[in-house]
Chain A
């Protein structure tokens, strides 16, 4: 009895398989589609974003530039006009809007150099960092405080008060020295070439004693 039933079903086995096959294939068409998550996982992005390691300070950058450290590239994410006005030495201009252009990606998605983003504040640089980090690009940093902080710390460092600790003075002198590297002139460091102060060198009078004529002496 059971064998007969099984045989009856089994005689349709190819048709049943064909139907299963079509249902599975049709299921792919009918399934609701969704936008897939691209890039790294959200947990990883959050932990990267919370890490203080993604910032680099202006002092560190100044130190790297002065020592001609070849291991990093500076990316200016402001627009072209501001870039042409002022930027850090050897910075590359990639405005935030063009960050995923083909020629920009070559700079950002590589493993050889540290990429350091900066803008006026770290606001736009942070956005650039976030966009790139999400796609899994490596070694990305943000200049903490951006160019504004660069000006207040490196280019125009504030002089510490007398009651400040010793480290503040040391930091000030380091910053002052680096600002001089970037072309700032300090009045106390300028070697003046003032000709009016020059005193005329007195003429040296060399007295030459003339030989007195002597009366001819008798020879032999």
Chain B
């Protein structure tokens, strides 16, 4: 049956409308759970607030469990889902830069736009920085291109590249998630609470 759009249950023309709807809902949830505050986001690195870790870990684990149950029951074909292509070194270097920017600025690109929407000045500066970065990248594209387009591994997943059993991966991933939540709670209690 699913996924709905590739199998024609929902016409492909609805793509943009659905995307706008999901975007609005996503922004609303980010803002209402306090993710437009750079102090809350940076808290995960300083150990006084682990909401980011908990939210994103839970989201990933819940959705992967749900997807595999739907695949098992025949409501969804997991092989038809879009897998983002892997450019190995591009992803590693980009991840490091993104991480540094996250700690330094206190936003990720999505939450920065959320914070712009509620009028935070630091978010304005952050978004301006993103734009400058985009401009520099575009100007220096010929220089970056070998890394940007190189080391292409295709649309692979961990399960494809290592031949793991997906069900065990999910189970172990969920256990890691619960352990991480428990440890983060212990750490948070030991750190002096920060008012923000």
Q: Footprint of B on A, CB under 8 Å? A: 14, 18, 21-22, 24-29, 31
Inter-chain contact B174/A29, CB cutoff 8 Å? no
- Rounded to whole Å, the gap between the CB of B8 and the closest CB of chain A is 13
- Rounded to whole Å, the gap between the CB of B76 and the closest CB of chain A is 12
Inter-chain contact A25/B181, CB cutoff 8 Å? no
- Rounded to whole Å, the gap between the CB of A60 and the closest CB of chain B is 32
Q: Which of B62, B168, B181 contacts A29 (CB 8 A)?
A: B168
Write 30 A-B pairs (CB below 8 A) sorted by A numbering.
A18-B178, A18-B181, A21-B65, A21-B174, A21-B177, A21-B178, A22-B175, A22-B178, A24-B65, A24-B69, A24-B174, A25-B61, A25-B65, A25-B170, A25-B171, A25-B173, A25-B174, A26-B171, A27-B69, A28-B65, A28-B69, A28-B72, A28-B170, A28-B171, A29-B167, A29-B168, A29-B170, A29-B171, A31-B72, A31-B167
Interface range for B: 10 to 19
Q: Is B68 an interface residue (CB 8 A)?
A: yes
Give Cα distance in the complex from A24 to B61, angstroms. 11
Give Cα distance in the complex from A59 to B37, angstroms. 77
Q: A31: which B residues are within 8 A, CB to CB?
A: 72, 167
Interface of A is mostly: helix
Give Cα distance in the complex from A14 to B54, angstroms. 12
> In chain B, what residue has the closest Cβ to A37?
B74
Give Cα distance in the complex from A22 to B172, angstroms. 9
Q: A29: which B residues are within 8 A, CB to CB?
A: 167-168, 170-171
> In chain A, what residue has the closest Cβ to B71?
A36
Q: Which of B61, B69, B167 contacts A21 (CB 8 A)?
A: B61
Those 3 A-B pairs whose CB atoms lie nearest each other, nearest first: A25-B174, A28-B167, A29-B167
> In chain B, what residue has the closest Cβ to A27?
B69
Give Cα distance in the complex from A157 to B184, angstroms. 86
Give Cα distance in the complex from A28 to B165, angstroms. 11
Give Cα distance in the complex from A14 to B178, angstroms. 10
20 extra interchain contacts, Cβ-Cβ under 8 A, other than A27-B69, A29-B171? A14-B181, A21-B174, A21-B177, A22-B175, A22-B178, A24-B174, A25-B61, A25-B65, A25-B171, A25-B173, A25-B174, A25-B175, A28-B65, A28-B69, A28-B72, A28-B170, A28-B171, A29-B168, A31-B72, A31-B167
> In chain B, what residue has the closest Cβ to A34?
B72
Q: A22: which B residues are within 8 A, CB to CB?
A: 174-175, 178
Inter-chain contact A28/B68, CB cutoff 8 Å? yes
Give Cα distance in the complex from A24 to B58, angstroms. 13
Q: B168: which A residues are within 8 A, CB to CB?
A: 29
Give Cα distance in the complex from A27 to B72, angstroms. 11
- Rounded to whole Å, the gap between the CB of B183 and the closest CB of chain A is 13
Q: A27: which B residues are within 8 A, CB to CB?
A: 69
> In chain B, what residue has the closest Cβ to A30?
B167
- Rounded to whole Å, the gap between the CB of B106 and the closest CB of chain A is 27
Give Cα distance in the complex from A215 to B20, angstroms. 125
- Rounded to whole Å, the gap between the CB of B153 and the closest CB of chain A is 20
